[in-house]
């Protein structure tokens, strides 16, 4: 049996040979002439000369090879009560028909299409239809503010925008069309058309001459066939936040992406064609691109598109209900989803109502998984719980237990060891490799594996500056971490989450780990704020479980003592306050930087990805009441 160690070493000792063999796992129209090349800027490119089509790989290939009647996509929407499923043949036909809509609007290979839609089947169909024509889609999370949408319109310069009349949250309806109209007004670039899908619970007004009804165009369209594209042609642009305030357009190519998606499904997630795979995320994020739409379909799995939340749709048992209903083999979501479930149902009583025996393993990513949540899930599910690490930039896992190769022992707090193709080092400020258990910057030796970003959209200079300039020959991930003596990698958080307390560099992630281990704490954040004496001091914000009976003073003293015992007095951890909610992005990341800016009295732009701006106001009021921060001290 192949061991992880041997397989991983193969991927590093001869990268070209390794990824040539993996490329044979997908169907090419023309197999690539070159496996790995460098362009005039010195940037690496995979599979130059290869010809393929990603939509063909995800749909037509399976119809042509005996999977036409297998379920490809399941739609489950507890917020609307709607459910639907589509075979590979049905999804292929619907995609071809909508590709005909795009073609009639003049969309051709290389044109950009912005997709601003909720979690409904049409969003996946739209993505696959763009890929079918060789058009470059850019999905913008439904509900983003008009200004953020306008910025993306001006950067991507789309020919058309695809949208819906609105989305539905737990307790509210979010009309999309007024946001789209405002974005058109603000943007300098003007798309030629806007295609709108009317949903029955919210109707949108149409602007004559620019807006078109989705269903009317669909009725007039003829199915469009797939077109050949080069492996190095872009499949999509996905914008991620940048430190300058202008989002970075992450480019994903067709060839490397398709090989990486196929490889990861088999070797990282350990699923086979025909298995049911569920990534409980949103297509507005990279997880949704990779593991709701492309990877499961390329691999021949059944994928689930879920329009709901882990709680209140209708309760904290909804994830277990979906697992039972569709016999999910692998579930992948963010730790914050389970922290929300744990807060509502800390004893896991709702889980007992459902048969989850189909579940082989659970994967977590998006934010560091605290040990307490990991152990709670292990006890609750009695299946492997795999914390793994990757980024929008990589498009697929960089550190993980490779469940399709060999399951290594789980070390709580670690994302395990590098995935094949990633030579991951921990470097100090001088660029030298750190010793075991010494914290530094996470860097990946070039070239990156297939599927990773080759550059930023129309901005090679920013790509070089942002990722390649800090350590020549390496990609800078932006996260801090360390390797232990066994080669396990521990990600400790973004580099700017390390605080300096009286000259001591301390990880806020380590303190969060301690707070999260308290039986009363559902989730937490530790923020370093300015202090005249020590430079910075840490303050903890904790959300407690629903069934806790403990005074705030007593909880604070217990948490302070725990940090003192574990991290030491050097941490100067002296404040832990109870918050009703923590500010988060829509993908579940806690907005620690925004909290720090509030405490330090600094001005900052409202994060475009914030789920609920009112939570920042709540946190600000909490700081004022508690006298936290130089702004209020």
- The CATH number of residue 532's host domain is 3.30.300.30
Give yes or no: residues 513 and 622 share one domain. yes
Are 207 and 126 part of one and the same domain? yes
526 and 469 in a single domain? The answer is no
Which range marks the domain in which residue 589 is found?
Answer: 502-626
Bridge partner residues of 527 (DSSP): 539
Q: Count CB atoms within 10 A of the CB of residue 41.
A: 12
For residues 148 and 198, state if they share a domain: yes
Q: What is the pLDDT of residue 600?
A: 87
Q: What is the CATH number of the domain that holds 46?
A: 3.40.50.12780
Using the 3D structure, point to which of 481, 515, 535 is the last residue of a domain.
Answer: 481
Q: Specify if 329 maps to a domain.
A: no
> What are the Cα distances from residue 29, in Å, to 295, 299, 359, 477?
19, 18, 36, 34
Asked whether 116 and 163 are in contact (CB, 8 A), the reply is yes
Q: Do residue 545 and residue 436 come from a single domain?
A: no
Supply the pLDDT for residue 243. 47
Q: Are 139 and 128 in contact (CB under 8 A)?
A: no
For residues 238 and 456, what is the distance between their CA atoms, to the nearest angstrom? 10
Residues 205 and 75 in one domain: yes
In a domain, 328, yes or no: no
**What pLDDT was estimated at residue 495?**
75
Query: In the prediction, which pLDDT does 166 show?
Result: 96
Co-location of 433 and 535 in the same domain: no
**Residue 351 resides in a domain:** no
Determine the Cα–Cα distance for residues 550 and 315; give it in Å rounded to an integer.
25
Domains held by the chain: number: 2
* One domain, residues 407 and 522: no
The whole-number pLDDT of residue 502 equals 61
Nearest to 187 by CA among 159, 151, 237, 211: 151
End residue of a domain, out of 432, 448, 481:
481
pLDDT of residue 244: 47
pLDDT of residue 245: 54
pLDDT, residue 34, reads 97
Question: Based on the domain organization, do 109 and 201 belong to the same domain?
Answer: yes
Residue 488: other Cβ atoms inside 10 A: 18
Q: Give the pLDDT confidence of 381-411 residue by residue, as tens digits.
A: 999 999 999 999 999 999 999 999 999 999 9
326 domain-assigned: no
426 and 560 together in one domain: no
412 shares its domain with 527: no
Which of 481, 515, 538 is at the close of a domain? 481
The reply to whether 51 falls in a domain is yes
Does the residue 353 lie in any domain? no
Clarify whether residues 608 and 574 are in a common domain.
yes
Q: Which regions of the chain are under pLDDT 50?
A: 243-244, 631-633
540 assigned to some structural domain: yes
* Residue 372 within any structural domain of the chain: no
Q: 293 Cβ partners below 8 Å, 6+ apart? A: 58, 124, 127, 128, 283, 303
Q: Taking a C-beta distance cutoff of 8 angstroms, is the pair 331, 323 a contact?
A: yes
So what's the pLDDT on residue 241? Answer: 67
């Amino acid at each position: 049996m192949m061991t992880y160690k041997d397989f991983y070493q193969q991927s590093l000792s001869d990268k070209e040979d390794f990824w040539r063999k993996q490329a044979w796992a997908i169907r090419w129209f023309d197999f690539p002439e070159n496996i790995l090349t460098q362009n005039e800027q010195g940037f690496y490119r995979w599979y130059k000369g290869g010809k393929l089509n990603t939509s063909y790989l995800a749909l037509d290939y399976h119809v042509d090879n005996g999977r036409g009647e297998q379920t490809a996509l399941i739609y489950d929407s507890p917020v609307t009560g709607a459910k639907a499923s589509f075979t590979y043949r049905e999804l292929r036909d619907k995609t071809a028909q909508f590709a005909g809509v795009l073609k009639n609007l003049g969309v051709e290979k290389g044109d950009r299409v912005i997709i601003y839609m909720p979690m409904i089947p049409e969003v996946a169909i739209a993505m696959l239809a763009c890929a079918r024509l060789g058009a470059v889609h850019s999905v913008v999370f439904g509900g983003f503010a008009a200004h953020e949408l306008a910025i993306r319109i001006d950067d991507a310069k789309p020919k058309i925008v695809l949208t819906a009349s609105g989305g539905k949250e737990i307790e509210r309806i979010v009309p999309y069309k007024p946001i789209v109209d405002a974005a058109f007004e603000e943007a300098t670039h003007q798309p030629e058309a806007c295609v709108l899908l009317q949903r029955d619970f919210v109707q949108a007004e149409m602007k004559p001459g620019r807006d078109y009804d989705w269903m009317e165009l669909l009725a007039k369209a003829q199915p469009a066939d797939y077109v050949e594209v080069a492996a190095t042609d872009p499949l999509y642009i996905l914008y991620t936040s940048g430190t300058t305030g202008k989002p970075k357009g992450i480019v994903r190519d067709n060839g490397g992406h398709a090989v990486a998606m196929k490889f990861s499904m088999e070797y990282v997630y350990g699923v086979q064609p025909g298995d049911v795979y569920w990534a409980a995320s949103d297509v507005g994020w990279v997880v949704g691109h990779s593991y709701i739409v492309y990877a499961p379909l390329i691999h021949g799995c059944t994928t689930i598109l879920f329009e709901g939340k882990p709680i209140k749709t209708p309760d904290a048992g909804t994830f277990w209900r979906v697992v039972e209903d569709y016999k999910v083999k692998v579930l992948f979501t963010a730790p914050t989803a389970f922290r929300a479930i744990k807060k509502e149902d800390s004893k896991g009583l709702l889980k007992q109502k459902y048969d989850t025996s189909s579940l082989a393993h659970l994967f977590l990513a998006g934010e560091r998984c605290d040990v307490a949540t990991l152990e709670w899930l292990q006890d609750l599910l009695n299946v492997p719980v795999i914390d793994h690490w990757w980024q929008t930039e990589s498009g697929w896992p960089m550190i993980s237990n490779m469940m399709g190769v060999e399951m290594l022992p789980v070390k709580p707090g670690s994302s395990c060891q590098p995935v094949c193709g990633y030579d991951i080092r921990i470097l100090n400020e001088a660029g030298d490799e750190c010793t075991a258990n010494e914290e530094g910057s996470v860097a990946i030796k070039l070239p990156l594996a297939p599927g990773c970003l080759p550059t930023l959209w129309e901005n090679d200079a920013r790509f070089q500056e942002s990722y390649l300039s800090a350590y020549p020959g390496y990609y800078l991930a932006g996260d801090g971490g360390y390797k232990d003596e066994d080669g396990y990698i521990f990600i400790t958080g973004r580099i700017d989450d390390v605080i300096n307390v009286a000259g001591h560099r301390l990880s806020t992630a380590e303190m969060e780990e301690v707070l999260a281990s308290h039986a009363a704490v559902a989730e937490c954040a530790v923020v370093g704020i300015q202090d005249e004496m020590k430079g910075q001091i840490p303050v903890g914000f904790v959300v407690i479980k629903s069934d806790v009976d403990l005074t705030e003073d007593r909880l604070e003293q217990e948490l302070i003592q725990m940090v003192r015992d574990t991290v030491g007095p050097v941490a100067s951890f002296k404040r832990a306050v109870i918050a009703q909610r923590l500010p988060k992005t829509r993908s579940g990341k806690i907005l620690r930087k925004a909290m720090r800016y509030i405490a330090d009295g600094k001005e900052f732009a409202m994060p475009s990805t914030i789920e609920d701006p009112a939570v920042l106001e709540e946190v600000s009021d909490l700081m004022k009441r508690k006298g936290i921060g130089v702004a209020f001290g």
